[in-house]
Every structure is written in structure tokens, then in C-alpha cells.
Amino acid sequence: MDRGTTETTPLERIRPIKGPVKKVAAGIPAVISTMKHGLSNMGPIKSLVNLNNVNKFGGFDCPGCAWPDPDNHRTIAEFCENGAKAVADEGTNSRANEEFWAKYSVKDISEKSDFWLNSQGRLTDPMILKKNCNKYEKIGWNSAFELIAENINSMNNPNNAIFYTSGRTSNEAAFLWQLLARRIGTNNLPDCSNMCHESSGVALSESIGIGKGTVKLNDFEKSDLILVVGQNPGTNHPRMLTSLRNAKKKGASIISINPLYETGMNRFKHPQNPIEILGKGSRISDFHIPININGDMALFRGFAKVLINNQINNEFIDNYTHGFEDYKKLVNETEWSDITYHSGVNKKTIKKIGNIISQSKKMIICWAMGLTQHKNSVSTIQEISNLCLLGGHIGIEGAGLCPVRGHSNVQGDRTVGINHKPNKDFLDKLNEHTGINAPKEHGFDAVASVNEMIKGNTDVFLSMGGNFLSAMSDTSITAQALKKCKLTVQISTKPNRSHIITGETALILPCLGRTEIDHRKTGNQIVTVENSMGVVHSSQGTSLPASENLKSEVAIVAGIAQAFENKFLKRNHNKNERWKNYMSFDWIEHSNDYDKIRELIEKVIPGFDDYNIRCRNKGGFYLPNPPRDNRIFNTNTGKANFMCNILSSQEKFLDSSFIMMTIRSHDQYNTTIYGMQDRYRGIDRGRRVVLVNEEDMIDRGWNKYDRVDITSHYSGVKRSADNWYLIPYDIPRGNVATYFPESNVLIPIDSVAEKSNTPTSKSVEVTIKLNSNN
């Protein structure tokens, strides 16, 4: 039975309205937007209570981005506009209850837009979509747990199960989640890192010995130069603008490097500053470089060429690095013509910025997914690391590498074991303290998981949060993959498209949100998260749950695990070699007292000493970061490595093609659509838009709002998506931009970054033709 579709919906086919690009970020419009979303979703009292507790000491961590809070203080309103949207979205008074699922079939829902689907509100009860049925119906929690356990137990191979994790999952839930997967016997633990910052982790681990950044929040005010690369802070990390504005006031120069000049990098009006909000605001970037999509590696190679022939930190290079002479030779042999061709930036500009970099004593380089989702992303990020090594910008205050993570605990999830490639020390410790003999062979990441499902090798797909269908590349292939599973399980707060493209049988398990009180037998619980800069701190919800029938993520994991243990594993305990020495693990006991989970994490993972004490301190605690703290580099050479990579970029093979990147609008967070407006870019109503250079449009005889069809080209295979609207925009020629997740259908599942296997969502070769209905 074809129960759902991934085709466009009527709302998504509405023609957009294009107004002027905004010149200033935040200010009064941000305040109005915050109030509108809060009042319309939560009402006045709940809005006041929730927004007063977000990111506060003793409050809850914002369910949005992973930008850190100040170490020792909190402002009156410690949140941004998009953080307020995330809180309001989770705290909505609307309910997608049993009546909602009885009213609409899965096919009916699939024909609605993502915006409509999200607006239906919070899930209230566990629901089941039975085989060959087209409507969800209510199911009891114990019955749901038993069904999952039965399906897992009936598998011929533990690797026929896949455990996906979203970045909003707490450390405690994530630790139990990976423990459950390894208890069953698999390392199939794909997560949202595979789709975003996996390239950063791989690149930095090879270069400096840790897959994280090397700066703290207060370093921004001590820096003299900040490069913001492949990033749109105004929409994706608005509180970062406060740090950039403060750095600017302290004398730092800021340079923006991106195909689009985003509003947040132009001017910023701090919503909590009366003088700024009524004035012109603060100038953020001193210079903007409109680079070609995926031209960053070449640009930074050009900067290195200037530094090597100008000024480098020989003392740091001699004492702390390896491979400089090889890298120097590579840089000197790189022709300027190749650098300018790949980057799309002229030599004069590169030398000008290179000279500024060479004079910097404390430089920070920030980046996000504009750098991590290309075939050569790992090489590009290592080129950035090389530049920092040339100037000695690691291990000193005010300087360092700063990958800006997108989701609130995506970094923490990885720290506590959500990793399809676990290291031996971690697995040994896990076995020592839990008795669980985890498998040693690597599991599947996100892309590999889809490929395994397509082959029919997956029986059970379980998702801890997130919206896997919409977040993954190659939407049509991902949909086919999910449909081949016997059972799909979604642990969620609100309806999303992954609930309607399912396996033969599907479960929706509704969980508590970050903003809600988590009460267990031992009292109200706290959870912990890790932000982009390695700070682990507590989070405690303050609102009543959206339904009395919700469970916490921790309780749901424990319920699944205990059902698996009780009903099946003990029956076959002595028949299976893997479980002969297994010590009984009490999942329910740990789920009733999260301190016990943290005690276990402390025993297994380095850096969590006195976890239960320190996580309750105001501001939490920093995890060890050897490159930042002591200039210790745990690499294969024992030093920071200059990495020598062949210069590359995204090549076009067709004369008529463009390079397409996916972007987010201002009214969305990841796959969640809050509204139909992209305020800063001046786009309203429509989301199926293509941002195109105006001269490219003139050359082809195209007009504003022309309806077009897009086709991507990769390895001889074409993927098409129809009914998009052309929008003239300030973007380099030959480059175009479309919204995620609508354009994910165009991203080939096998087009991935080298080494990290991340989908190349930021560099897809496409052709565009006028739609026949124009």
C-alpha cells in the first residue's frame, strides 16, 4: 500500500514575494517576531515563564543551536529570536492528539506542507500504524515496547537494526541509547553529525588531535581578527552576533567569507540595547569576500601563500608542528591562476586580506555547514587549520579554530558515545563497567544506513528525535529505504514527515521536550548538554508536560531495553556466546535517577570527573581540550600536523550548469518550518525558490518569478524537481541557492565528502530550464 508521498504540496507551489534585502539584523523586528511566535503558540503567561527560564542558571538549555552561554553570568533575556521560536514551537498549546490521527490518513497528511504538519502541535500519545493500514491508532506504552523488542529479537543479525540520533538528545539519553544499541550487538549509530560537522571532526582529529574547536566564548573579546566562513549567524546562530559585536567594540577586525552576504554580517541591532535598537546598530564585518561555492580551499591556500612569503610564527611551527616544509613546498608550487580560478576571488583581494591575517596576533576562524558539505570538505578545513598553524593561533587566548555546531547537543551526543566508529578504549571501559560486550566492528553512518535499507538489510529503524527523511540527502531514495524496513520507530515531540514515510509497521513514541518538567520516582530530574565550545552544563524543564502520557527520552530507551532484556534475551542467555559473562544491567533503576547514568558516564569517559557535582555548578564545566589548554596534540606525530592536500573545488561538467547549495530560511530551524518568511533576504510566502545571479538570468532570458525545473547531474544519473521560482539575488555568477529540505531530493545519496562521508548538500551540479506551465 502506497500510504504517503514526497511530492510537492499546494502550499509549497505558491509564488513567492521578493522584497528588498534587509540591511540590519535583529532590532525591533526580532522583538516583534519573538512576541508573535510566543503569544500565538504559548499565550502570554506561558511565554513569560518559558522565555524567562531559557538558558538561565537552573533553567533549561535552548532547544535550538549550540552557541554557548556566558561562563559566569546571564542577561535578563538570554536568548535570540530563533531560540524564542524554538521554545515557542515546543511549548505550543496545539495538540496532535488521538483525534488528529483519527481524522487524517497518512496519505492525507503527506499531501500537506511541512509548515502545516509542524503547526498541528505536540504529540500526546504513543501511536501505531499497522501493516496495510492508512491511519495511526493509539497503543499502550508497554505494548509498544514489547513490539519493538519482538522485532529486534526476531532479527537474524544485530546489524539489521539502526539507531539514529538527533542533536537535541541529552547526554543521559544518548548514553543509554548507544548502550542499548551495543547491548543488542551493533555499532549502527548514525547521527545528525554525519550530515553536518562530521567533516570538521575528521579534519581536526588528523590535524590537531581533537575533533572539536579550540576556543572559548570569552576569546572573542580578546581576538584582533575573526574570519566568519560559510556561515549565516543572523539566522542560524543569532547570539553569535552579540559576540561579534562585542569583539568589534574591543577592536577586532571581522571578515565575512561566503557566496551570499548575509544580513547578520552587515549590521546588528542588539534587541536588549535601547540605544542600538533605535539607532543604526553595530557594524559587524569590515570586509566581505563573495566567494564561489566551494572555493574556500583555494582562498585559504592563497592566504597561506601570502603568509609564507610575508610573516609566520616560526617559534610555534618549530616547537609544536610537523610537516611544515612539505606544506611550504606545496603552497609555493600552487599557481595563483589556480587559486583565483577555484575561489573566484582576484589576486589583489586575496593578498590584501592575506596581509591583514599575517599581522594578526590572535585570530579566530569560525565556520559552519557552508564548509562541511562538499566533496573536499575535510581538505578545506585542514587548509584552514594550516593557516592557524602558520600564525600560531592555537593554544593562546583570543585565537583558535571554531566550528560552530548547529544543534543544541550534537557535540555532547558524540562525546558520550553516539559514534558508529567507537574507539577501543571506550568499548573496553563500557564492558568493564556495564558488562556489555560491545561489538568491535564499525557500524553504519547516515549514508551507509540508507544504502543498507535500500538493499533490504534493515529490519528495524529507530530514531531518537530528528526528522531523518527530510534531513537526509536524496529524499526519494531515503523514502524508498525507510519503506523497506519491517518496523520504523520515531521518538518525537511533534509530527514530521518521517512519521508518514514508514516501514511496514510504524510507531510514534511521544517524548518530553527540553522545556518540560521531567519527574521520575526520585524527583524532578536534570539532564546535561555540551555546547559548541565544550562546556557541559545542566538543563531542567520548568513547564508542565504537554500530555500526561509523555515519557522522557531516558524512560523510553529504558523501557525498550528492559522489554528486550526481560522477554527475550534472558530466555536465550546461555545459547549465545556474546552474553555468557554479561552482568545484569538495571535499565529502569538508571532511568529513575539520572545521577546514576552520570556516575556511569564518569567511569567510562575521560573528563567527566565529579560529573554530578560539576554539572550543577553555575555555567557547568569545560571538558579537557589539550590543544587549547596546553598545546598538546594527540596526533599520529605527537604534534599539530600541516596537512598537504591537492587543491580542488566543485567542477562543472556541463556548459549550461550551475553549482547549487542548500540554505535555510529565517523562519526555520533544521527541518522544522516555523513560517513562510525569510525576512532578511526579503522573501515571503514561497519556499520553492532559486536564488540566481541577475546577469545569469539576463543571459538566459529569464525573468523574476519565472517557474523552472531543476535537474541535478552526478555520475551520469539525473534527479529532477519541478516548479521552482527564480529570484534574482546577489550571488556569484554560476552559483545558485535553494532551501533545505525541499531541494534535498536533488542531492545524490552517493555524492559525499571524502573521508567523512557527509552528503555534499552545498555543492551539487544542476541545470535549470523553464517550466512548460510558465
The string of pLDDT tens digits covering residues 426-475 is 999 999 999 888 999 999 999 999 999 999 999 999 999 999 999 999 99
Which residue type, as a one-letter code, is found at position 34? T
CB-based contact 468:164 (threshold 8 Å) = yes
pLDDT at 64: 87
Query: Which candidate, 340, 351, 360, places its Cα nearest to that of 227?
Result: 360
| Closest residue by Cα to residue 458 from 417, 508, 501, 503 | 503
Which triple of cell numbers denotes residue 547? 500530555
Which range (57-71, 181-195, 741-755) has the least confidence? 57-71
The answer to whether residues 763 and 374 touch, using CB atoms and an 8 Å cutoff, is yes
CATH annotation of 11-17+653-770: 2.40.40.20
- What's the pLDDT score for residue 478? 97
What CA–CA distance (Å, rounded) separates 351 from 372? 25
Give the range with max mean pLDDT: 8-22, 25-39, 257-271, 323-337. Answer: 323-337
Question: Running DSSP on this structure, what letter comes out for residue 584?
Answer: P
Among 233, 189, 408, 304, residue whose Cα is nearest residue 643 = 304
Cα–Cα distance measured from residue 238 to residue 230, given in angstroms and rounded to the nearest whole number = 15
Model pLDDT for residues 568-609, shown as the tens digit of each residue: 666 665 555 555 555 578 999 999 999 999 999 999 999 999
Band of residue 693 on the pLDDT scale cut at 50, 70, 90: very high
Rounded CA gap, 687 and 771, in Å?
A: 17
Cis check: omega of the bond before 627, within 30 degrees of 0: no
512-571 pLDDT, tens digit per residue, is: 999 999 999 999 999 999 999 999 999 999 999 999 999 999 999 999 999 998 876 666
Spatial strand order of the sheet with 677-678 comes to: 17-18, 683-684, 677-678
Estimate to the nearest angstrom the gap between the alpha carbon of 516 and the chain centroid: 23
What are the φ and ψ backbone dihedral angles of 282, each rounded to 5 degrees?
A: -100, 135
Helix/strand/coil (H/E/C) assignment for every residue in 318-338? HHHEECHHHHHHHHHHCCHHH
- In the chain, domain spans: 11-17+653-770, 50-194+410-622, 198-404
**CA distance linking residue 142 with residue 138, whole number of Å:** 12
Q: In which band, very low, low, confident or very high, does the pLDDT at 141 lie, cut at 50, 70 and 90?
A: very high
pLDDT at position 581 is 52
Helices (H), 392-473: 410-415, 424-434, 446-454, 468-471
Could you give the CA distance from residue 93 to residue 90 in angstroms, rounded to a whole number?
A: 9
Class of domain 50-194+410-622: alpha beta
Phi-psi group of 192: left, alpha or beta (phi > 0 → left; psi -120 to 50 → alpha; rest → beta)? alpha
Note the helical H segments in 226-374. 233-236, 240-249, 274-278, 296-308, 314-320, 324-333, 336-343, 347-359, 369-372
The answer to whether 713 touches 654, Cβ cutoff 8 Å, is: yes
Strand order across the beta sheet in which 460-464 lies: 137-138, 127-129, 505-510, 487-492, 460-464, 161-165
**What is the distance between the alpha carbons of residues 126 and 141, in angstroms, rounded to a whole number?**
7
Amino acid letter for position 287: F
436: cell is: 556489555
Smallest Cα–Cα separation from 200: which of 418, 484, 446, 414? 414
CB 273 within 8 A of CB 242: no
When the pLDDT of each residue in the chain is averaged and rounded to a whole number, the result is 94
- Cβ count within 10 A of residue 596: 16
Q: For the whole model, what pTM was predicted? A: 0.96
Burial of 92 from C-beta contacts in 10 A (0-12 / 13-18 / 19+): buried
Phi, psi angles (nearest 5°) of residue 353: -70, -35
Percent over 90 (pLDDT), the chain: 87
Is pLDDT at 362 greater than 60 in this prediction?
A: yes
Q: Enumerate the β-bridge partners of residue 18.
A: 683
Mean pLDDT of 226-236: 95
Burial of 611 (0-12, 13-18, 19+ CB in 10 A): buried
The mean pLDDT of 394-412, rounded to a whole number, is 93
pLDDT score for 568 = 66
Element holding 257 (H helix, E strand): strand 253-257
- CATH for 198-404 is 3.40.228.10
